[in-house]
Amino acid sequence: MIKYTEEKTNNKLKVMTKDKRAKRASALKQFHKEVGKNTRVNAKRAVQSLEYAKHTRVK
């Protein structure tokens, strides 16, 4: 049997300080908040679009 590919593994552990972890958590919270604001507007528009589409007749 000829095996061309080998699984590449990287066992070197990365450093995660408490500060870095806290910074990431706070940035992620802000990210959720900002995306959430926009997706709520999008959801509202989706409902409205369906309603408006009932009144557009094409011929």
Partner 1 sequence: MNYSIVVLEKNDDINDFCEYIKEYNYLENGLFDRLKSVFESTGFPCTIVCEFEYVDKFYRDSYYHYFAGKHFYYERNCKRLSIFKGKIEEGLLFDYSDKNEVYLNSCFIGTIVLKPINIGKIGRCLLDPCKLNIKKSYLRLTSFDMVVIGHIFKINAFPYSSQDSETITCAETTVWSILEYYGNRYSEYKSVLPSDIYNEISRISNERVWPSKGLEYEKVSDLLKTFGFSPRLYAAESYGVSSKFDFTNCSEYHRIFHYYVESGIPFAVGIIASDPEDVGHSMVCIGHSSKKKDLGDINSLDIDGVPYVDSADYYTDYIMIDDNRVPYVIDDFYDISEYGNDTYVDVFAVPLYKRIMMEASDARAIISQLLQYDDYNFNYFLRNYPDIITGKNNPVVVRLFLTSSRKYKHFRAKNSGSRDESEFYANCLLPKFLWVAEISTHEEFENNRVLGEIVLDATFSISCEDQDYENSVILIRYFSHVGYAKDKGGLRKYLDENGEEVEYYINGFDMILDGLEEDNQFSESFQLYVNNLQAVGEN
Residues in contact with partner 1 by CB under 8 A are 13-19, 21, 23-24, 27-28, 31-36, 38-40, 42-46, 48-59
Smallest distance from partner 1 to CB 1, Å: 21
Q: Which of 36, 34, 33 has the alpha carbon at shortest distance from 44?
A: 36
Give dist(CA 14, CA 17) in Å, integer. 10
Rounding to the nearest 10 degrees, give the CA dihedral for residues 48, 53, 56, 59: 170
- For partner 1, the closer of residues 2 and 13 by Cβ is 13
Minimum distance of partner 1 from residue 2's CB (angstroms): 18
